[in-house]
Homo-oligomer: A and B are copies of this chain.
Amino acid sequence: MTKKKPLLLITNDDGFQAKGINELIKALKGLGELVVMAPDGPRSGMSSAITSLVPIKYKVEREEEDLTVYSCTGTPVDCVKLAINEVLEREPDLLVSGINHGGNMAICVNYSGTMGATVEGCIFGVPSMGVSLLDHHPDADFTECVRLGRALAEKVLAEGLPHGTYLNLNVPRLIPVKGVKVCHQADGRWIKEFKQGEDGGGRPVYWLTGDFRNDDTREDNDMHCLDEGYATLVPCKIDVTDYAYLSTLKNWNF
């Protein structure tokens, strides 16, 4: 009896045609059977959004040895749910989401569709990791992401991850990067978030934009390490409970 090849589920939020996910497929080739279930177009900033008011669909886009690529009309989280509930014959051994065109450090983890899909894999109990490059260009250079993404995927396949924990890998534009730093999520936020414009009738409209302000003074925050030219790896939890605050709250009378 031969051991089955590892099954890797791949997704993203930029759509199945994006360069980032195709670089990721190349990076993971040879590690097992690859199944891609990715949105049929861009779904950036979709966080963990799910589609409940309309149904979703999927179709095969490409089949090769050890690789099947499906596209899906839903969000990144829908893609993961659909693949695991309806399409895959067994639970995947690893989920990799990305490679995102754009960084997902600091609070970006909260808005990111790439990371939403990663969270979803983790909820299913699948060891899950997201990979992002701090470059929005459609033709960005993913060389360092490919190298580090593959190495991390091999490590996660070998070591597994604790229940409820997923990984967030971000890679700066610098080639080569200075190394990888294990970090915590920087404490900061976006400011000046809208650019005002006008619609065809002269009514004001608001376009999302903004600058990131890093309020974190601790040395190992991911934003700071990325600024210094390091790739960053942040372990994250799906349980958001503030356990330290439970005892205070238990004393509230209201």
Q: Say which residue of B196, B236, B254 sits within 8 Å of A155 (CB atoms).
A: B254
- Report the separation of the CA atoms of residues A164 and B182 in the bound assembly, to the nearest whole angstrom: 22
Residues of A within 8 A of B (CB-CB), count: 73
Please encode chain A, from 229 to 246, with 1 for each CB lying within 8 Å of some chain B CB and 0 for all others.
000011111111111011
Is A86 engaged at the interface, CB distance under 8 Å to the other chain?
yes
> Given A47-B50, A245-B235, do A55 and B111 touch, yes or no (CB 8 Å)?
no
Say whether A240 contacts B245, CB under 8 Å. Answer: no
Interface of A is mostly: mixed
Is A143 engaged at the interface, CB distance under 8 Å to the other chain?
no
Select the residue from A110, A123, A194 with max chain B CB neighbours within 10 A. A110
Q: Say which residue of B47, B184, B203, B242 sits within 8 Å of A47 (CB atoms).
A: B47
Quote the shortest CB–CB distance from A57 to chain B (angstroms): 5
- Report the separation of the CA atoms of residues A189 and B192 in the bound assembly, to the nearest whole angstrom: 37
Q: Which of A18-26, A62-70, A204-212 contacts B (4 or more CB under 8 A)?
A: A204-212
> Given A55-B197, A124-B189, A194-B86, do A48 and B236 touch, yes or no (CB 8 Å)?
no
B residues less than 8 Å from A86 (CB atoms): 194, 196, 206
> Given A51-B45, A77-B111, do A57 and B241 touch, yes or no (CB 8 Å)?
no
B residues less than 8 Å from A151 (CB atoms): 254
Is A137 engaged at the interface, CB distance under 8 Å to the other chain?
no
Q: Which of A138-158 contact B (CB under 8 A)?
A: 148, 151-152, 154-155
- Report the separation of the CA atoms of residues A53 and B205 in the bound assembly, to the nearest whole angstrom: 13
Quote the shortest CB–CB distance from A14 to chain B (angstroms): 12
Quote the shortest CB–CB distance from A126 to chain B (angstroms): 11
Please encode chain A, from 70 to 97, with 1 for each CB lying within 8 Å of some chain B CB and 0 for all others.
0000000110011001100000000000
Q: Say which residue of B49, B107, B154, B162 sits within 8 Å of A46 (CB atoms).
A: B49
- Report the separation of the CA atoms of residues A138 and B35 in the bound assembly, to the nearest whole angstrom: 40
A45-B49, A86-B206, A237-B240 known; 6 other A-B pairs, CB under 8 Å? Answer: A42-B53, A47-B47, A47-B49, A56-B208, A82-B194, A110-B240
